[in-house]
Amino acid sequence: MKSSALKYESLLTRLKLYDSLAVAFSGGVDSTLLLKAAVDTLGENVVAVTSVSPVHARREIEAAKACAATLGVRHILYDPGMMEDKGFLENTPRRCYFCKRRMFMRMSNEVRALGVSNVVHGVNCDDLGDYRPGLKAAEELGIGAPMVDAGLFKAEIRELAEELGLSVARKPAMSCLATRIPYGEPITREALAMVEAAEATLDDLGFQQFRVRHHGDVARIEFSRKDLARLFTESMMAQVVSGVRRAGYLHVAADLEGYGQGRMNRGLEDV
C-alpha cells in the first residue's frame, strides 16, 4: 500500500475517535479531503462550518457551499465579526493569530449550540514550515489537526483527492484576502473589496494561480510562471489592466518573480 494510502487510513482511524465533529471548511482541497474523510467515517454526525466575512471572497464561499452539497453534509455559514477585531484590523505580523482566534472561538460557539464539542481544521504538514501564527491560536483553543497527526503533506492530499474523485483535487491554493495587504497597513473593507474584484477579473480571464498584492493605488500581481507566459500579449495585458483598474487601482504591475506562497512574510524576523 502506498504511503499516502496508509496515512489516509491513519486519518480515518483518528476520526473514528470522535462521536461528532465540526470541520472548518473553506472549500479548498485540504478541508474538502478532511470533510470527505469525516463524512465517510461519522456520517450524519459531521457538520461543515464556513466563515463568511469581507476577508473571504464570495466566489470561494459559493464554491464551498456547492462542494458541501455534493458531499451531502450539513453546512453552516456564520459571521465571525472579523471587521470588529482591533488586533486583526491593525494588521501586525500577528494578524493571523487574531483572525484564527476569533474565527475558531465563534465557530466553537456555533457548533456547541448544536451539541458538537469537537472542531478540526485542514492544516497539513507543509503548513508547519511557514510563518503561521494562526496555528498557535488553533492549538490554544483545542482545534484538532488530524491531517498533521496522520503525517499528510499537500502533495499527498492532492493525490488522495484525485483518487477519491474530489472536484477540488487540482484547485489552486487560496488564502484570505487580508494576506494581500502588507503588514502595517490597516485592513479596510475598501481594500478587501478592491482585491476581491481584481482577483475576480483574473479568474474570469482564465488565470489559475495568482495573488493581487494591495499597495494603495498599486496592484502588484503575482502570477504563476505558466500564467506569466499567457500574460504578455497585447490583448491580454490590455484586459488585465482594464479589469484591475475597474477594481479601483490606478496602477497595475506584474511581479516578474512570479507567484510565491507566503511572499508577504518576507523580512519578518522574530515575531
Q: Report the predicted TM-score, pTM, of the whole model to 2 decimal places.
A: 0.91
Q: Grid coordinates in use for 82?
A: 472579523
60 pLDDT band, cuts 50/70/90, is very high
CA distance 96 to 87: 9
Residue 82: count of CB within 10 angstroms of its CB: 23
CA angle 182, 184, 189 (to 5 degrees): 70
Q: Are strands 251-255 and 218-223 parallel, antiparallel or unpaired?
A: parallel
Beta bridge partners of 212: 221
Q: Grid coordinates in use for 236?
A: 491580454
Q: What is the per-residue pLDDT for 258?
A: 86
End-to-end CA distance of the chain: 42
Q: What is the per-residue pLDDT for 262?
A: 62
Query: What angle separates helix 58-71 from helix 189-204, to the nearest 10 degrees?
Result: 70
Q: What is the per-residue pLDDT for 8?
A: 96
Q: How many helices (H) and strands (E) does the chain have?
A: 11, 7
Q: Is 115 left (phi over 0), alpha (psi -120 to 50) or beta?
A: left
Answer whether 38's CB lies under 8 Å from 24's CB.
no
CA angle 162, 33, 18 (to 5 degrees): 145
CA distance 163 to 154: 14
Please tell me whether residue 18 adopts helix, strand or coil conformation: coil
pLDDT in tens, 92-144: 999 999 999 999 999 999 999 999 989 999 999 999 887 888 999 999 999 99
Q: Grid coordinates in use for 136?
A: 498557535
pLDDT in tens, 190-242: 999 999 999 999 999 999 999 999 999 999 999 998 898 889 999 999 999 99
Q: What is the DSSP string of 158-209?
A: HHHHHHTT-TTTTPPP---GGGGS-TTSPP-HHHHHHHHHHHHHHHHTT--S
Percent of the chain with pLDDT over 90: 85
Closest CA to 37 of 133, 161, 183: 161
